Amino acid sequence: MEMQQIRYFLAVCDQGTITHAAQLTYVSQPSLTQAIKKLEEEMGGELFTRTRSGCLLTPLGRMVEANLRKIYKDLQATKAEAIRFTRLNTIPLRIGLMTTIGAQRLSPCLAWYQQEYPNIELELIVDSEASLLKQLDSGSLDLVISAPAQLPAVPYQSTLLYEERYVVAFSNTHRFNQLQKVDLKAIQSEPYLDRLNCELREDLKCICQNQEINLYAAYRSNSEEWILRMVQEGIGVALMPEYTLPKQATDISYRYLSEPEISRQVYAIHTNQTSAKSELQALIVNLSST
């Protein structure tokens, strides 16, 4: 089986006709047809049913399509990475960050890493935990930094980086500025800003139910930036991981949450698929010791 055969097969799948597939792949129709026939011989049966309106996948064609797409996609990704490496003489390290992971704790480590490993490119992708783990599994990411409610099982490997407590964030003019700590009951009398991406959101609901606390969510957002902006404007108060707050945040104050204290653990999650294992391990060690 040749990659060109797979390329032509996928082109027919996507375009629906030999004519359009040939135009897309810049090859003559007879050459494309011959390549498809050779592929069908190797697969042991017809992959398309030819009709006047175009080409339809046979049951055999539908069965092999997903695998052939994966083979072609993986090859393209490998070729692109190899070209990038040879042209730039650098190793790309792709890191996925869960949306609620703040830069305050991690950015100094990344700055150190850049100085120690100048030939390493860092690519930071911010997304939901579920999406990041899928990308890690497919090889699109080398490392995921997340705060999982439950550690993922094998083949994932998890290293604890740090633990952070939750704080109550509010504007500088808020009455909470007079307190040393803020307990959960005090928040129920305030407009509450609900962080929809909070990984402890369900746990917090259970705690509130057990203590008969009603946190009325006056506003909700899946964006940490918008939550912080609303806190800054005095619209309400929010519960946030301490390192999610910008270090030099203006017009925002915070106090540690008490009764109960809530915290989360942040992990580095990876597999053994990356080509830069030693460089990745050095990054994990530095992140966990910062």
Question: Which CATH number among 3.20.20.70, 3.40.50.620, 3.90.1200.10, 3.40.190.10 corresponds to the domain 88-162+265-289?
Answer: 3.40.190.10
Please answer whether residues 236 and 218 qualify as being in contact, where contact means their C-beta atoms are separated by less than 8 angstroms. Answer: yes
Predicted local confidence at residue 89, as pLDDT: 55
Taking the chain (290 residues) in runs of 10, the rounded mean pLDDT of each run is: 86 89 87 91 89 87 89 81 63 84 85 81 86 85 88 84 91 91 88 86 83 84 89 90 81 86 89 67 79
HSE-up of residue 172 (Cα within 13 Å, Cβ side): 4
Please answer whether residues 184 and 207 qualify as being in contact, where contact means their C-beta atoms are separated by less than 8 angstroms. Answer: yes
- The sign of the torsion formed by the CA atoms of 89, 90, 91, 92 equals negative
How many Å apart are CA 217 and CA 202, to the nearest integer? 14
Predicted local confidence at residue 83, as pLDDT: 67
Domain with CATH 1.10.10.10 in the chain: 3-87
Predicted local confidence at residue 85, as pLDDT: 64
Q: Does domain 3-87 have CATH number 1.10.10.10?
A: yes
Q: What is the CATH number of domain 163-264?
A: 3.40.190.290
Domain with CATH 3.40.190.10 in the chain: 88-162+265-289
pTM of the model: 0.63
Sequence-ordered strand ranges (E) for the chain: 48-51, 54-57, 91-98, 120-127, 143-146, 157-171, 182-183, 192-195, 217-221, 238-241, 252-258, 263-270
Q: Count Cβ atoms below 10 Å from residue 218 Cβ, excluding itself.
A: 14
**3-class DSSP state for residue 115?**
helix
